[in-house]
Amino acid sequence: MSQHPTYLLDRAKIEGAHTLAVAQKHGAYEALRKILKEGITYAQVIQVVKDSGLRGRGGAGFPTGMKWSFMPDPAKDPRPRYLAVNADESEPGTCKDRVLMEQDPHGFIEGCLVAAYAIRAQAVYIYVRGEYRHPYNRVFQALAEARKAGLVGKRILGSDFDCEVWMHKGAGAYICGEETGLMESLEGKRGHPRPKPPFPAMFGLWGQPTTVNNVETVFNAPFIVNRGAAWFQSMGTKTSTGNLLVGVSGHVNRPGVYELPFGVSCREIVEDVCGGVWKGKRLKGFFPGGSSTGVLPASFLDTKLEHDAIKATGSMLGTAAMIVMDEDTCMVRAHEIIARFYEHESCGQCSQCREGTQWLHQIFRRIENGEGRHEDIDMLVTLSQGMAPGKTICALSDAAAIPTLAVVKHFRSEFQEHVEKGACPHLPAGTRRPVLAGHGAAH
């Protein structure tokens, strides 16, 4: 195993860290205590997070300190303000927030409170993915303990800081992980993303100033408050600081969630951390950060896992959920499955996304089933270009288009092989894969 300094999962590895007693013995709520006892101001918390270079861990990588500073000055805007924490972790491949919520719920709650303090929010809403029953229960129990201990609610630790934390369970829609879809869902409406502007900092939950942060993002905040910006910057790269949780899934010997600094190479993750591609096979390609970041072929394995380097390859870091595929993987089949996911999860507001995700799925399915035509390959490209970038209300359309563009770019020959052979070359001759159930789509 590689030797990198760690902090995110240190406490999570301790037996019983989900209980308040054990968590507090190992440093939980120290940052909150420090802020409230030493009288650290809101502005100072934002400043130290800005200085640390912390970037959002939800996929877009937006600087967190800057996002917090977008919240209007309470002296000029006395409206109530909220923090919404996005725990609707549903990007295919991503499973990092789950580990934090299950293993270190108090660390997570402390993160919520520090972030709420920085943006002067009087309430935190944690939107948990509906399928995450165990993480939900863990955080729920931890919250009850923390509330009892005076760490959540009115006059936290005897100070004049009031902050209530509420939890909400999603009902299984990917789109509710989009920040405005999440807010609509929290308000009790259909999870239809809202057009921006207005941005959440001005018009968020119930029309009030709101910041939406990822679980891992707020989880980082107490460490930065405790140990300082310089310590945080000592890890990672210049533009992507700190450690991040890398969730590796797919054809590796040791899949899992690993804490690594930004800037380690993808090769180190696959070959060293995860023990190499399984069954002694060779690597064909990998998604660097979840299914909506474009696939990269094995030749990109030396790319450093950080925002700028991955961006230079034409892909995105996303949630750093690496999906590794071995040499026997059918890229068309893999993307048929992904396209089906996006068709199923499109909210249906924007024309491009509603119709385009279905169209892409249909074309992938035809090619995979040997019914593709050569024109279909270029259709995938032109349709994807019509869906992205930035042509729709939210980024789901982009999320369906980007992997399509990437796979045609890097693996065009596989598509041609499917078309020419009239069948999937990865299947024994004469056999067909079972057709995936399409949801309401015409077959």
Partner 1 sequence: MTKITINGRSIEADPTKPLIHACHANGAEVPMYCYHPGLSPVGSCRICQVEVQQGTGPARVVVACRTPVAEGMVVNTEAPKAHETRRECLEFLLKNHPLDCPICDKAGECDLQDYAFAENQGEGRTHEPRRKLDKRKSLGDVIVLDEERCILCSRCVRFMEEVPKTPQLTVSDLGSRSTISTFMDRPLSGNYQGNLADVCPVGALTLKQFRFQARVWNLKKSLSTCGECSRGCAITVEVLRGQDVKRFRPRYNASVNQWWMCDTGRFSSARHNATERIVAARRTSRGLEVAGLEEALAAAAALLSGAPAPLIVASPFTTQEEAKELLALAKVLGAAAHFVLPAPSGLKDALLNTGEPAPNRRGLAELGFAPLSPAEARAKLAGARCAVLAGERVLELLGREELARSASPKVVTFDTHALEGAAAEACIGIPEQVEKTGTWINIDGHAGKLHVARPAPKGVGPLTRSLQALTRLLQPSSAPAR
Q: Which residues of the shown chain bind partner 1 in the complex (CB under 8 A)?
A: 173, 175, 190, 195, 343-359, 362-363, 366, 373, 379, 385-387, 391-393, 439-443
Task: Rank residues 134 and 374 by Cβ distance to partner 1 and give the closer one.
Answer: 374
Rounded CA-CA distance 309/240 in Å is 10
Length of the chain, in residues: 443
Q: Residue 371 Cβ, how far from partner 1 at the closest point, in Å? A: 9
Tokens describing residue 201: 């900092």
Least Cα distance to 269 among 287, 293, 281 occurs for: 287
- Residues facing residue 304 across a β-bridge: 265
Task: Rank residues 165 and 400 by Cβ distance to partner 1 and give the closer one.
Answer: 400
Rounded CA-CA distance 115/123 in Å is 11
Task: Rank residues 82 and 359 by Cβ distance to partner 1 and give the closer one.
Answer: 359
Decide: 71 and 201 in contact? Cβ < 8 Å. yes
Q: Residue 362 Cβ, how far from partner 1 at the closest point, in Å? A: 4
Task: Rank residues 329 and 362 by Cβ distance to partner 1 and give the closer one.
Answer: 362
Three-state secondary structure call for residue 161: coil
Rounded CA-CA distance 114/241 in Å is 19
Task: Rank residues 243 and 358 by Cβ distance to partner 1 and give the closer one.
Answer: 358
Rounded CA-CA distance 169/185 in Å is 10
Decide: 28 and 13 in contact? Cβ < 8 Å. no
Task: Rank residues 379 and 427 by Cβ distance to partner 1 and give the closer one.
Answer: 379
Q: Residue 181 Cβ, how far from partner 1 at the closest point, in Å? A: 11
Least Cα distance to 101 among 231, 206, 12, 209 occurs for: 12
Q: Residue 222 Cβ, how far from partner 1 at the closest point, in Å? A: 37
Q: Residue 430 Cβ, how far from partner 1 at the closest point, in Å? A: 25
Least Cα distance to 48 among 216, 227, 215, 237 occurs for: 227
Q: Residue 354 Cβ, how far from partner 1 at the closest point, in Å? A: 6
